[in-house]
A and B are shown apart, each in its own frame.
Chain A
Amino acid sequence: MTEWKDEMTAIERMTAYAKGEDIDRLPCVPIVGNTAARVIGVKVSDFRGNGELIAKAHIAAYKLFHYDNIRVFTDLYTQAEAMGSEVIYPEDETAYLGQPVIKLDPRLSNLDEIDKLRPADPYKDGNLPEHLKAMRIVVDAVGEEVPVGGAVTGPFTNSSFLVGAENLVRLTLKNPEAVHKLCQVSLESNLRYVDAVIDAGVTPSLTDAMSSSTVISPRLFRKFSLPYLKKLIDHIHDKGKKVTLHICGKTDGIWEDMVKAGADCLSIDNDADILKAKELVGDRVMLMGNVRPSETMLEGTVEDVRKATVEVVRKVYDSPKGFIVASGCSLPTETPFENIHEMLNTVRRIGNPFAIKDATSIVA
């Protein structure tokens, strides 16, 4: 349970932190996704086509844990689904991709199918309207006290959901032109969607799993992912919003590029070294991360969570552009509540990071 009372709301804290003013504690975001279903006791599949329920769950989860950012999120496939890909909804687990909309034959001879793709209409297609509805409800309910984000899947990753991941990575080497077409139409979907997300009063939050150096080389990232990400981020900036960019897995070879793409905050996966991120790009972007979502948050004890949280704060609390204590990726649905509470309580016990003399004095 929450044993410590926060002295500031999340928005007060984030605003003061950005200005370098005193704060009661570091911002903390255990990235809650479908765990929100557990908070209100519903099945994950109940979220399908039900913006009101998604909103209710995220509001309840926020009120239970009091973290510093609500991210309206169920899965990565919402935009690909709106463009025609099949998404499978197990009764009580996170949805996953079924048949992609473009069914390429093994010889890749029907690539002209790609030309038939059209960007999704966020107000009509798939479950996008319900996600937008969820965002509006959340902002109305708690938007005064906590920043609200809407999950947007980046162009390269969305492309992989349109043709299948294996086909997309093959095409990066076999037919670059096809990949550019896919990324372009995904970007157009993204642009429409982020406009709608911003109109809903919410900040787009970018996830781009397939851009990871665990999958493609930094060279291919720069060729196929970066140009489209940059256009997307420029567009969001033009609308006056800051951008958090999460790329899963290994990313150290592309941090510079993620900064170049214009991201204001990099969300660092637990597979990457966040101390190194502080040294290399911490002077230019805020960092968030990277307690292990599965080993520590799902499987670990409360004590494990406390230790991991202290450890990451010791490493990164003094990152020049700021640091948000977070999980390295979205939390698994069944993450125990006490572990989520413990991450926040640890940060509360550590208190004001500006009052810290040195890393060794950080205890909780």
Chain B
Amino acid sequence: MEKEELLRQIADAVVEMEEDTVEELAQQSLTAGIDAYETIDLGLAKGMERAGQLFDEEEYFVPELLMCSDAMNVGIDVLKPHLKSENVSKKGKVVIGVVEGDTHDIGKNLVRLMMETGGFEVLDLGRDIPPAEFVSKAEEYGADIIGIATLMTTTMPGMKEVVDILANKGIRDKYKVIVGGGPISPAFAKKIGADGYARNAADAVKVAEKLLGNTDLALGA
């Protein structure tokens, strides 16, 4: 099979949520000597990107997106041991979590997935995370972006607290803060002094890319 054809089929299998097919085709790609990174980037991630588009267009919903990501992860498990270390160049580092008092993490998990497939290195703090921990972990990890999610109106003030802690420590400019989740609006993001608002998981990747892109411009890079 042609390389392009194989990669296309891998992407299709991710979109179609077919774990077994993904596993089989990923093996084939290794046998055919295709670079593992290329298979991830142009096969698996491409498929996940299309799944994200379908989610955006309300063709796919949360269950479908989760199943696509399950299929993608099966492929990654096959390919990961064969990755050469030089091609793990990443777009940026992200710490992400759900704010304290909220344990709904479907949305956050989707964002993590989409960010990872979008080429970001992601440290997932989990759910029910105190504001100070977002900051300490971001410092430890050397993050570029702090992503904060909540599905509950009751926990929204915790988001502002993260921004305030950054400001009080004089490290606000080191990070781009992106907020999102059910009750969050662009107006709220602006009000608490966040840098970005992500409407959904697919949007989060675009917002992150844009924000880091702007940083480069601002730095003259």
Contacts and interface: CB of A to CB of B under 8 A. Distances in A.
Contacts of B214: none
Contacts of B188: 294-295, 299
Interface in A254-294: 293-294
Contacts of B105: 166
A272 B9 CA distance: 37
B62 A294 contact: no
B32 to A, nearest CB: 29
Contact of B101 (A93, A173, A298): A93
A333 interface: yes
Nearest to B65: A169
Given A93-B154, A332-B154, A174 B67 contact: yes
B185 interface: yes
Contact of A173 (B64, B104, B128, B152): B64
Interface in A293-321: 293-295, 298-299
B197 to A, nearest CB: 13
B107 to A, nearest CB: 9
A362 interface: no
Contacts, number: 71
B39 interface: no
A169 B154 contact: no
For this complex, into which size category does the number of interface residues on chain A fall? Answer: 20 to 34
B103 A332 contact: no
Contact of B104 (A88, A165, A249, A293): A165
B63 A172 contact: yes
B67 A170 contact: yes
A220 B58 CA distance: 13
B61 A166 contact: no
Contact of A295 (B17, B64, B155, B185): B185
A299 B102 CA distance: 19
Interface string A127-169: 0000000000000000000000000000000000000011001
A220 B104 contact: no
A248 B153 CA distance: 13
Interface stretch (A1-9, A209-217, A235-243): A209-217
B101 A96 contact: yes
Contacts of B156: 294, 332
A173 B63 contact: yes
Nearest to B61: A217
Contacts of B70: 170
Interface of A: 88, 90, 93-94, 96-98, 165-166, 169-170, 172-174, 213-217, 220, 248-249, 293-295, 298-299, 332-334
Closest 7 CB pairs of A and B: A332-B153, A169-B63, A294-B153, A294-B183, A217-B61, A172-B63, A215-B62
